[in-house]
Amino acid sequence: MRVGVITFPGTLDDRDAARAVVAGGAEAVSLWHADADLKSVDAVILPGGFSYGDYLRCGAISRFAPVMQLVIEAAGKGMPVLGICNGFQVLCESHLLPGALTRNSDLHFLCRDQEIEIVNNTTAWTSSYKTGEKIVIPLKNGEGSFQCDDLTLAMLEGEGRVIARYVGQNPNGSRNLIAGITNERGNVVGLMPHPEHAIDELTGPSAQGLGFFTSILNAMVK
């Protein structure tokens, strides 16, 4: 099982994502933004960071990277794709997921240990969790407020496509406390907080983020 981790210029959490992939039991494969080849990976992670310095809009330039054209095509055919933080922003800009991530409501960058509830465990990336399971993983971003129009929100909620919600006080003004969503097919997931920083208690607030990286193995075995 090979999981690609894309590095754009300005990507920061690529090494962390690769470490988490290995901890989850898969092989991590580095993918470069300018690659015109997905190197036969079975799934792809778009890690966090500030790709292209967040110029113009977060993720707005990365979506045009050569490797993203391949990712968009493969996602359409059902390949599992996980976008974390900036990766979530890139997925929205690529129209693989609806909505947009805007400045946190208090306008500050926020790094803290955040409790979230997994509300959909049927996706390629959440099957290791129970529905309703609460986990604590780091949240760290300046533009993490999930926004969309009322119709889209109704659709996401109606189709059960919200995969995780913030627990307690809304940390960034996201609509309906949304921390992560999926596409219709359940193979593409965008998540604002960082499961790759919660794979052991030595370096993270918990090891509860590991489930995202073991889920993908389950998805492949099926």
Interface with another protein (CB under 8 A), residue from 19, 63, 161, 175: 19
Tell me if 202 contacts another protein by CB under 8 A: yes
Beta strands in 72-211 (DSSP E): 81-84, 100-102, 110-118, 134-141, 145-147, 162-166, 178-182, 188-191
The strand pairing partners of 113, in sequence order, are 138
Active-site residue identified among 85, 92, 115, 143: 85
Q: Does 60 bind another protein (CB under 8 A)?
A: no
Supply the minimum distance, in Å, between the C-beta of residue 11 and another protein. 8
Q: Number of residues in contact with another protein, rule: CB under 8 A?
A: 28
Q: Is 197 labeled as catalytic in the residue annotation?
A: no
93, 115, 143, 196: the catalytic one is 196
From 58, 93, 148, 194, active-site residue? 194
Nearest distance, CB of residue 199 and another protein, angstroms: 8
User: Could you say which of 66, 69, 73, 111 contacts another protein (CB under 8 A)?
Assistant: 111
Alpha helix positions (H), 34-115: 66-76, 86-93
Residue 196 as a binder of another protein (CB under 8 A): the answer is yes
Residue span 122-161 as binding mask against another protein, x where in contact by CB under 8 A, dash where not: ----------------x-x-x-------------------
- What is the distance between the alpha carbons of residues 106 and 109, in angstroms, rounded to a whole number? 9
Sign of the Cα torsion 205, 89, 187, 122 reads positive
The question of whether 133 is a catalytic residue gets the answer: no
Residue 64 interacts with another protein (CB under 8 A)? no
Does 166 engage in binding with another protein (CB under 8 A)? no
Q: Which residues contact 73 (CB under 8 A, 6 or more apart)?
A: none
Closest to another protein by CB, 103 vs 152, is 103
Expressed in percent and rounded to 5, the helix, strand and coil fractions of the chain are 30, 25, 45
Q: Going by C-beta distance under 8 Å and a sequence separation of 6 or more, which residues neighbour residue 64?
A: none
Q: Which of 128, 123, 119 is closest to 208 using CA atoms?
A: 128
Token output for 101 = 């991530």
Would you give the end-to-end CA distance of the chain in angstroms? 12
Q: Is 109 in the site for another protein (CB under 8 A)?
A: yes
Active site residue 92: no
Could you give the CA distance from residue 167 to residue 175 in angstroms, rounded to a whole number? Answer: 13
Of residues 21, 204, 210, 219, which one binds another protein by CB under 8 A? 204
Annotated catalytic residues are 85, 194, 196
Q: Applying CB under 8 A, which residues contact another protein?
A: 9-10, 12-13, 15-16, 19, 48-50, 52-55, 108-112, 138, 140, 142, 194, 196-197, 202-204
